[in-house]
Amino acid sequence: MIEIGIDSFAARFTDNAAAALSDKDAMFQLLERMEHADRSGLDVFGIGEHHRKGFLDAAPTHILAAAASRTKRIKLASAVTVLSAIDPVRAFQNFATLDLISGGRAEMVVGRGSFTDAFPLFGYNLDDYDELFAEKLELLLAIRENEFVTWSGKFRPALKNQPVYPRPVQEQLPIWLGVGGTPQSFVRAGALGLPLMVAIIGGETHRFRPLVDLYREAGRRAGHAPEKLTVGLHSLGYLAETTEQAIEDFYPGYAASMTKVGKERGWPPMTKERFMSQMGPTGALLVGSVEEIAEKVLRHADALGGISRLTFQMDSAEVSHDKLMNAIELIGTKLKPLVNNSSR
């Protein structure tokens, strides 16, 4: 079975009509979508973390906690927690508290983050990018395993038999490692026996298979059981009644946002031709009708050697709230059953 859900960055960074909403109203609509995802039978809803204009997710656990009071069964996760720029003690406390509020539905997906704004904001040196993450992940996992923690490192004061409270409802708070395309990150996740969440937002999904194989091999060598080495896939996507309608709804905002981000990163402007190249059978974009995307999900799962979770990231294209609500319903009530009744 493949768990299916939504990831949101609460993004509001293009100049289309949807951006005329106030931040207050946009946040209210996001919570409505989270509640609707729960009603529609989706398995997980993740909230990202960004510290820049155009995103409302700088304090994701607050959003997740607000959603916890309005939902009953859906898992509530980060997507991702920028662990390099937060104290692991505080991160654990935040999610343990969320776990208590939600009755055991909290999960963490931790990563280094694709934007670097958090580093100067919280006083960290970007030259320590990977070293910070490795050390903080080590401490976070130690806190998860032990109520009383003894630990020392380079970037934070040592802990000597220090208790960390509160403890979560779940015996072991789920912690996934969110990765992009860096081989060392896949190996790290495997060596630690952590579930892997792979963000594939461009190119062809099957090209990530060698990296996923690296993860599984690193886990095997570290002595972790194969069933513990689960893989999730985070994809840009959007569903409508027809593929033509999905493209019409999604492409304009997607092109505007990708072009804007591309100016910072040296990418060329997004064109319709480049967009359509991602719409093919092996392309990363999951934009289309229910039947078409169900087949594509299964194709991607096969290409990666099996996945246990898939999350759609839809709102960076600034599709209207009503259309996002419809897409969520299609994913939960039609796509999810179709994928899992056809899983091979």
Q: Which residue has the tokens 């990708």?
A: 258
Tens digit of pLDDT for each residue in 242-252?
999 999 999 99
Domain ranges for the chain, please list them.
3-343
Most confident option among 5-19, 63-77, 255-269: 63-77
pLDDT computed for residue 116 by the predictor = 84
Mean pLDDT of 316-330: 94
C-alpha–C-alpha distance, residues 187 and 185, integer Å? 5
Q: What are phi and psi of 282, to 5 degrees?
A: -105, 0
The pLDDT mean for the chain works out to 94
pLDDT band, very low/low/confident/very high, at 343 (cuts 50, 70, 90): low
Q: What is the dihedral of CA 286, 288, 289, 292, to 10 degrees?
A: -60
Mean pLDDT of 196-206: 95
Can you read off the two tokens belonging to residue 116? Answer: 């670097």
288: left (phi over 0), alpha (psi -120 to 50) or beta: left
What is the homologous superfamily of the domain 3-343 according to CATH? Answer: Luciferase-like domain (3.20.20.30)
How many Cα atoms sit within 13 Å of 53 on the Cβ side? 5
pLDDT computed for residue 19 by the predictor = 52
C-alpha–C-alpha distance, residues 90 and 102, integer Å? 18
C-alpha–C-alpha distance, residues 46 and 57, integer Å? 11
pLDDT computed for residue 318 by the predictor = 85
Could you count the other beta carbons within 10 Å of the beta carbon of residue 171?
7
pLDDT band, very low/low/confident/very high, at 315 (cuts 50, 70, 90): confident
pLDDT computed for residue 87 by the predictor = 96
Tens digit of pLDDT for each residue in 106-146?
999 999 877 889 999 999 998 898 999 999 999 999 999 99
Tens digit of pLDDT for each residue in 10-65?
987 555 544 578 899 999 999 999 999 999 999 999 999 999 988 999 999 999 99
Can you read off the two tokens belonging to residue 67? Answer: 């959603």
DSSP letter at 247 equals H
pLDDT computed for residue 21 by the predictor = 83
Which pTM was predicted? Answer: 0.95
C-alpha–C-alpha distance, residues 4 and 32, integer Å? 18
C-alpha–C-alpha distance, residues 112 and 180, integer Å? 10
**3-state DSSP helix/strand/coil % of the chain, to nearest 5:** 50, 20, 35
State the chain's maximal CA–CA distance in angstroms: 60
Mean pLDDT of 286-306: 97
DSSP 113-170: -SS-THHHHTT--GGGHHHHHHHHHHHHHHHHH-SEEEE--SSS--EEEEE--PPPSS
343: left (phi over 0), alpha (psi -120 to 50) or beta: beta
Tens digit of pLDDT for each residue in 206-239?
999 999 999 999 999 999 999 999 999 999 999 9
Mean pLDDT of 160-181: 97
Mean pLDDT of 200-206: 93
pLDDT computed for residue 13 by the predictor = 54
Lowest mean pLDDT among 266-275, 319-328, 330-339: 266-275
